[in-house]
Amino acid sequence: MSIEIGSKGRAETAVTPDNTARAAGSGLVPVFATPWMVALMESAAVQAVQGALSPEEGTVGTRLDVTHDAATPIGMRVWAEAELTAAEGRKLTFAVAAYDETGKIGGGTHERFVIRTDKFLARTQAKWKL
């Protein structure tokens, strides 16, 4: 694993009725939902580092501290950007921000941990035996 501080990722989508607050159940208005903004930020973070990992590795999100500062209507394009700001062992910290066609709509920090996918899934599936 050779992940470089400063690695950047980006994820993009368009606001549709399917990713609004009304559809997500996080509000009643037809604007881009906070849960979808968070998912876009996480996707950007994955894109920032996945290429530096081995095929057996991945990352999982463990912490988010973000704000959603502006609403985006249906039909507008939105994107998130992530930049790796720290790597401590398997813990990765990102600065994340989201934008629409008029400017910044949210931002904050996001933490992920590098995992060995097979071991992670085995531990998760072992919960069925409890």
Tens of pLDDT, residues 10-34 = 999 999 999 999 999 999 999 999 9
Burial of 50: CB neighbours in 10 Å, binned 0-12, 13-18, 19+: middle
Fold of 8-129: Thiol Ester Dehydrase; Chain A (3.10.129)
State the chain's mean pLDDT as an integer. 96
The band of 76, judged by pLDDT with boundaries at 50, 70 and 90, is: very high
Q: d(Cα 59, Cα 42) in Å, to the nearest integer?
A: 10
- Fill in the DSSP letter of residue 129: G
pTM score > 0.75 for this model?
yes
Q: For the chain, how far is it from start to end, CA to CA, in angstroms?
A: 33
Q: d(Cα 109, Cα 130) in Å, to the nearest integer?
A: 34
Region 84-88: mean pLDDT is 97
Catalytic residues: 34, 42, 68
The domain segmentation of the chain, as residue ranges, is 8-129
